[in-house]
């Protein structure tokens, strides 16, 4: 059974790998045997240590995804220095909170650039490379509960995460015949930097916990099994789907 999730010999690129969900997912892939390329806006010594502790290699790319740029060149450089990625985990994301009537264009553009635009063009670059080389590929996008719901005070985040789910399905439709699967994980309320303001607000935190059947905030490690399932070599017939990891939030 262990071989079902064996990623030995694979290379995975994880965006937003410095902390939180990205760091946990990078370590998960390392535990399964994959070498890991971590992309983040700053250096990530903790992620490096966690990955390398499992006897695999780690390569760091410092990149501000809001600035966009040539993602094909980024992948080519990673391949030259480390090895071409077989798995892409689009995890990088930011959130800006303000009332609808006060939300700024700058906050809208920043969130959309990182959460949606960079996800599409990095996926496009990876898909082009895999198709040209005739290899299988796995894309796993990190969606959100707000891929399904409206939320409050997070208009650009909600729009971007609805977009992530839509692009997951579109890319799956176009790439399935190329031996590339595209799926998404929709985390619930997870203990990360993005949810720190909510957890620090006793009223809002209690409202959220009362709505979660599991009765607790999720942890980044709660997403590990979903990632292994979607990245596994044997999951070639699973594409265009989203796996909620939300403690039952969407069921209530």
Burial 16-52 (b: 16+ CB within 10 A, else e): bbbbbbbbbbbbbbbbbebbbbbbbbeebeebbebbe
Active site residue 157: yes
CB 108, CB 36: distance < 8 Å: no
Q: From the candidates 58, 130, 157, 189, give the one annotated as an active-site residue.
A: 157
* Integer Cα distance of 119 and 188 in angstroms: 20
Which residues are bridge partners to 183 per DSSP?
140
Q: What are the residue numbers of the active site?
A: 157
């Amino acid at each position: 059974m262990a071989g079902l999730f064996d990623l030995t010999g694979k290379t995975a690129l994880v965006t937003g790998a410095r902390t939180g969900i990205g760091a946990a997912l990078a370590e998960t892939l390392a535990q399964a045997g994959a070498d890991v390329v971590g992309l983040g806006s700053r250096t990530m010594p903790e992620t490096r240590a966690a990955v390398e502790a499992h006897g695999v290699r780690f390569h760091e790319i410092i990149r501000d995804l809001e600035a966009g740029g040539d993602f094909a060149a980024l992948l080519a450089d990673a391949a030259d220095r480390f090895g071409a990625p077989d798995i892409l985990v689009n995890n990088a994301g930011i959130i800006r909170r303000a009332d609808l009537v006060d939300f700024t264009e700058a906050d809208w553009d920043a969130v959309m650039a990182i959460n949606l635009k960079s996800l599409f063009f990095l996926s496009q670059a990876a898909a082009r490379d895999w198709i040209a080389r005739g290899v299988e590929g796995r894309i796993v996008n990190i969606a959100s509960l707000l891929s399904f719901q409206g939320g409050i005070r997070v208009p650009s985040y909600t729009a971007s995460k609805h977009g992530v789910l839509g692009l997951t399905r579109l890319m799956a439709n176009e790439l399935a015949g190329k031996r590339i699967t595209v799926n998404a994980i929709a985390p619930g309320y997870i203990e990360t930097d993005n949810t720190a303001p909510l957890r620090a607000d006793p009223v809002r935190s209690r409202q959220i916990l009362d709505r979660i059947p599991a009765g607790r905030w999720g942890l980044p490690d709660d997403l590990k099994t979903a990632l292994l399932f979607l990245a596994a070599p044997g999951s070639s017939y699973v594409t265009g789907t989203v796996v909620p990891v939300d403690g039952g939030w969407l069921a209530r």
